[in-house]
Structure 1
């Protein structure tokens, strides 16, 4: 039952609210879906999000990489030979991490479907049994890990993003998200350094301790601005959990400079795509935490290695996503289910969709991602 075909599908779905950061404004999710099909007609799916401003990946480029370079190397191979197949994907083309991640996830999804088990189980998450207590689901919502609920599948806690905007609008959005059950808010800042402290204050005042607050500047500050703003947060006693990517991605000296001069932990995101990047962050002591994303690193295997390496060197861990749909989010949440992170992960991207052409897959309930207890990702076109 070899791999018989690899197909690509362009996926675009509108957002219910514009997603605004210091880098871009998005009104839709635009991704390339990759479908790997065995000779019995079973399919596994993966997703390559188009994110010009962060990864440079786009649907046309990802489609060319899959159809011309990666896919032909897999046709005829045994889909159960997962490690060897993923190694072929990794070596098929330089760069193109989003395309590689899509094929890598599709191969994992297909392997799990062939075994009749959910993707989290394939990755090493505990099996769900009828005796599983709903208390595990509650712990996922209140803590940093993953749990399960009977008949529901694996439950993984997530934050929710507050798009960049005016202080009053951010405060109102914060109250709405808490009312909807989210207990961790990720506030997008970096669009206007002079007004960011007021925005942060508005969110913290609005939630009043009902939710954790973390910040993401998306490279929007200079090192000097970052130090001033973050020390201002500390001086005011605002309860900020950490600050993500305060300075330009390639400015590791600046990132280290900030990290060593503030009390609030600093997370690296755009600065870390793969292993070499993480090693350099560790060597320079440039950050306290790292955000691992499949579309940046190229697949589940590399992502696992990044999480283990970060943890072994004392860095906090988080699994995030680009603005992508339920296929990419399902894979990221499955990874967290098998490799729990030290902080609540950033898995809200599919929550922003107003509609989706896909069937099945994850759901959002009370600030958590609920993965189906079905083979693979449980998603069909």
Structure 2
């Protein structure tokens, strides 16, 4: 098998603004794994403020220790290949996730089945929320109405810059869209524990579905403190990369839910473990995305199709792209992601 890497920088149609960063492009490393006749694809996004991993580092990891670890294996050795990828290097979850996905994609293609079918799914659509970037109250209200008109009925509002102002912004969004659409918040670690409790309790009448990562990732005691003092479910995101992190969240009682992301945990195989562990311990789940293209989001959507989660998933990342950097793959139809009927991820190559 041969691994090839491709660097992409895909422009967004609208700037994506959170408490941590402002993005105008989706910068990713696409990984192509070939058996000589077919290719599987995977993706490692660059999200400095979350994972700390760079494209250069991911590329070096894939082309160096991961390629070496797979040396001598054939395309039918999926289980062993996945084990070797995870053991090839410490950390580097984005790089591992990209190759893990490419291995699954190639295995599905060799059988002539879709990736979601390979994972055990019989459905070909999944629903996603859509994110409203950080902005002033008027801008958020306008964007919210536009997204509802686009067919989205679960909106995620980025907050975490200023708790008092956040409350006003969220109220304006709820007033703009009415009581029907579901509303969830993502603070991206931006609040203190006290600000989080005050803001969430002040918004009880806005019927929030959940609040994601209200405090800094390492402060599990602080997040447990928030969870104990609010009625709205708390979703752990940046606090959970792998199994050890999820176990710590469970032991601390730090969150009611967990957001599983391929680029954080290292791919489809670790993600399935996290989803199963969460379910066994009564932790509700969603699957999310970083700022990824149709490759990374397609893999996450295939996972969701086969492993249903507790709430609508957060897979709108590729919707933000002005143009797809690859041909084939998933398509958005309002809040629905349509999975391909073609083998694997359905990706046939780069579009440029």
Q: Partners in 2 of 1:162 and 1:32 — Cα distance?
A: 25
Q: Decide which of 188, 191, 198 is 1:228's aligned counterpart.
A: 198
Task: Please name the residue that 1:216 is paired with.
Answer: 186
Task: Please name the residue that 2:12 is paired with.
Answer: 15
What's the TM-score once normalised by structure 1's chain length? Answer: 0.91
Q: Partners in 2 of 1:209 and 1:78 — Cα distance?
A: 54
Residues 1:25 and 2:46 are matched in the alignment: no
Q: Partners in 2 of 1:273 and 1:52 — Cα distance?
A: 15
Residues 1:105 and 2:101 are matched in the alignment: yes
Residues 1:188 and 2:185 are matched in the alignment: no
Task: Please name the residue that 1:70 is paired with.
Answer: 66
C-alpha deviation, 1:72, in angstroms = 2.2
Q: Decide which of 157, 172, 177 is 1:207's aligned counterpart.
A: 177
Task: Please name the residue that 1:248 is paired with.
Answer: 216
C-alpha deviation, 1:73, in angstroms = 2.0
Q: Partners in 1 of 2:307 and 2:192 — Cα distance?
A: 33
Counterpart secondary structure, 1:258 = helix
Native 8 Å contact 1:178 1:210 kept in 2: no
Superposed counterparts of 1:1-381, under 5 Å: 3=1, 5-39=2-36, 41-126=37-122, 148=123, 154-234=124-204, 237-379=205-347, 380-381=349-350
Native 8 Å contact 1:34 1:106 kept in 2: yes
What's the TM-score once normalised by structure 2's chain length? Answer: 0.98
C-alpha deviation, 1:210, in angstroms = 2.9
Runs of 4+ in structure 1 off by over 4 angstroms are: none
The Cα RMSD (Å) is 0.8
Native 8 Å contact 1:253 1:286 kept in 2: yes
C-alpha deviation, 1:158, in angstroms = 0.2
Q: Partners in 2 of 1:245 and 1:22 — Cα distance?
A: 11
Structure 2 gap ranges (5+)? none
Q: Partners in 2 of 1:177 and 1:209 — Cα distance?
A: 15
Native 8 Å contact 1:11 1:32 kept in 2: yes
Q: Partners in 2 of 1:285 and 1:79 — Cα distance?
A: 42
Native 8 Å contact 2:293 2:325 kept in 1: no
Superimposed CA distance per residue, residues 289-317 of structure 1 (whole angstroms, 9 cap, x where no aligned partner): 00000000001111001011111111110
C-alpha deviation, 1:123, in angstroms = 0.9
Q: Partners in 1 of 2:100 and 2:64 — Cα distance?
A: 16
Counterpart secondary structure, 1:260 = helix
Q: Partners in 1 of 2:331 and 2:181 — Cα distance?
A: 21
Q: Partners in 1 of 2:188 and 2:74 — Cα distance?
A: 41
Q: Partners in 2 of 1:339 and 1:87 — Cα distance?
A: 21
Native 8 Å contact 2:190 2:215 kept in 1: yes
C-alpha deviation, 1:281, in angstroms = 0.4
Q: Partners in 2 of 1:324 and 1:294 — Cα distance?
A: 11
Q: Partners in 2 of 1:65 and 1:269 — Cα distance?
A: 24
Structure 1 gap ranges (5+)? 127-147, 149-153
Q: Partners in 2 of 1:357 and 1:275 — Cα distance?
A: 32
Q: Partners in 2 of 1:199 and 1:94 — Cα distance?
A: 41
C-alpha deviation, 1:28, in angstroms = 0.4
